[in-house]
Amino acid sequence: MAAAVEMLAIVAAIASGHLVAGFLTPTSSPFFAVGDAVVRLSPRPVVEFAKSAFGTADKPVLLAGIGVLLLAAAVAGGLAARRRPAPGTVLVVVLGVVGVAAVLGAPAVRPAGLAAPVVALLVGVAVQRGLHRRAVEAAADRPTGPPDDRDGPGEEDRDTAPVRRRTVLAGASAAVAVGSLVAGGAGAALASGRGLADSRAALTRRLAAARPSGPGPTVPASATFPGPGTVPFVTPNADFYRIDVALQVPAVPAEDWSLRIHGRVARELTLTMDDLLARPLVERIITMTCVSNPIGGHLVSTAVFTGVELAPLLREAGVDPGADQIVSTSRDGWTAGTPTATVLEPGRGALLAVGMNGEALPAEHGFPARMVVPGLYGYVSATKWVTELELTTFAERSAYWRDRGWAVRAPIKTQCRIDAPAGFARLAAGRVQVGGVAWAQPVGVAAVEVRADDGPWVPAELATEVGPDTWRMWRAELDLGPGSHTLQARATDRRGDTQTGQRADPVPDGATGWPSVLVTVT
Ligand SMILES: Nc1nc2c(c(=O)[nH]1)N[C@H]1C(S)=C(S)[C@@H](COP(=O)(O)O)O[C@H]1N2
Ligand SMILES: [Mo]
């Protein structure tokens, strides 16, 4: 019972903090702020372990872990507070202070954000004191010894009061539980971007109206080799890989968004969405890749991005020639460091993107605006929910993943993947169809070769190239006899470089090695 009181107090605190944060700044929700602090402060090996062990499920795993810790704390606190409420109150206060500290330490919270963890602390203490008193009262009424059959004053009290007090306790507990559920749900709804639906729909309409009347980039049928196991050329938004450290998706309505370009520039610029949409919009098909993608992995996807050219914007601001780095900052404080020269490179096509596959960016992919730079891994270029570009130097400032041991510069490595046959497939002997994708942004794929069991490399047939910044589909046929076979593939880019077979982990600047699948032929 005492543990339940503690737990309810903690849950009520978290829920009320979440509600207040939903109204003010979502990142100030104490529960998520603690989660973010854990992510930020974790030593690099822990982060690497979490990413490799849980992959993209690392966020739910982290939050569940915090939940389990809180449950354990509640049980301990409850046991300590069976008679007197004080030890339980102390626990709630300590947890509350941790919440306040986490919010204070968060990178993107304004002072008003402190309201959320402070309210959480006060609600937690109030619930703990209130429920504890009622629990003690209810427990005192429970028959402890042999039934007392002496007549006397208070007899009637003994008959009905215990029932009433236990009812009061149960009622109060239920009220706290339901209230927490409602408050937490409302906070999550306010924060999660469900409130963004209108803003997204409006931006989608504006993009449709603003789109240049000529035909946008198209994907000819000959750009794919449809078949079992192969992926579509353009990845639907729902299937586009997602990587970020945001425990909650920042909710930034397009109307409230602005981008500040500052630092080593001649003229500081601040652009609203109206300013942005007044500029020429371009559409570009780009394959994005994550540095953490393991060989054969799926952290690579392709979309039609709509946006504004980044280079002219920077030129308008007047970039200091010494400013070799652009540090872009997201609404939630995450940062990326991009070489200025790459963004300004003629023909590179770096974008401030607002649309993805014919709609406004989905909330998880950076609504209302993000950066996309063809040829660079996401962690050094693809800032979602971007609100700030600071022209600086690599010597002056270091961004999020560089601080955690990843490379300063991270061009995408030429790579390929075997999509068919699937690993451990059982196949009939004879000619076997092998197929997949290859990418080498920003130069494009020149060739793909496949082989079985260290045999000779066989050139694959390449599908029509959509552009140097997109992946390219390939297929080949191999003649396989009965037994197990290891199939491998390797790509060569338009610089003439063939990807190395030397296996390397993603850390610090991207995995290398040839993808391989093991199949059994009968
Ligand atoms: N704000 C923010 N932007 C971010 C990240 C992040 O953690 N926070 N992760 C980057 C990384 S590592 C990658 S690979 C891409 C992934 O973009 P996507 O989720 O739209 O596929 O976003 C980049 N932009
Ligand atoms: Mo990434």
Per-residue pLDDT reduced to its tens digit, 246-285: 888 888 999 999 999 999 999 999 999 999 999 999 999 9
**Which contiguous run of DSSP H or E holds residue 49?**
helix 44-54
- Do 331 and 196 touch, CB atoms closer than 8 A? no
Ligand 1, atom 6: nearest CA belongs to which residue? 244
Ligand nearest to C-alpha 291 = 2
In this prediction, residues 333-357 reach a mean pLDDT of 97
CA dist., res. 187 & res. 47, Å (int): 28
The edge-to-edge listing of strands for the beta sheet with 386-392 is 269-272, 258-263, 386-392, 325-330, 335-339
The model's pLDDT over 36-94, given as tens digits with 9 standing for 90+, comes to 888 878 776 777 777 777 766 787 888 888 889 989 999 999 899 988 999 999 999 99
Between the CA of 387 and the centroid of ligand 1 the distance, in Å, is 14
Measured from the CB, is residue 334 less than 6 Å from ligand 1?
yes
Q: Exposed e or buried b for every residue in 403-417, given b needs 16+ CB within 10 A?
A: ebebbeebbbbbbbb
According to CATH, what is the number of the domain 415-521?
Answer: 2.60.40.650
In this prediction, residues 2-14 reach a mean pLDDT of 90
- Do 251 and 26 touch, CB atoms closer than 8 A? yes
Cβ neighbours of 165 (radius 10 Å): 19
Between the CA of 113 and the centroid of ligand 1 the distance, in Å, is 24
Between the CA of 128 and the centroid of ligand 2 the distance, in Å, is 43
Measured from the CB, is residue 242 less than 6 Å from ligand 1?
yes
115-141 vs 155-191: helix crossing angle, rounded to 10: 160
Ligand 1, atom 8: nearest CA belongs to which residue? 244
In this prediction, residues 427-437 reach a mean pLDDT of 96
Q: With H, G, I as helix, E, B as strand and everything else as coil, classify residue 185.
A: helix
Cβ neighbours of 16 (radius 10 Å): 25
User: CATH says 204-404 is which class?
Assistant: alpha beta
**Which contiguous run of DSSP H or E holds residue 60?**
helix 58-80
Taking a 5 Å cut-off on Cβ, the residues next to ion ligand 2 are 243, 290, 378-379
Measured from the CB, is residue 251 less than 6 Å from ligand 1?
no
Cβ neighbours of 268 (radius 10 Å): 12
Which residues are CB-neighbours of 221 under 8 A, at least 6 positions away? none
Ligand 1, atom 15: nearest CA belongs to which residue? 378
58-80 vs 86-105: helix crossing angle, rounded to 10: 150
* pLDDT for res 27: 74
CA angle 257, 190, 94 (to 5 degrees): 110
- Per-residue pLDDT band for 12 (boundaries 50, 70, 90) equals very high
Measured from the CB, is residue 225 less than 6 Å from ligand 1?
no
Q: What percent of the chain has pLDDT over 70?
A: 93
- Do 509 and 401 touch, CB atoms closer than 8 A? no
- Secondary structure (DSSP) of 3-42: HHHHHHHHHHHHHHHHHHHHHS-GGG-HHHHHHHHHHHHS
- Per-residue pLDDT band for 154 (boundaries 50, 70, 90) equals very low
CA dist., res. 457 & res. 12, Å (int): 63
| Domain positions in the chain | 2-193, 204-404, 415-521
Ligand 1, atom 12: nearest CA belongs to which residue? 379
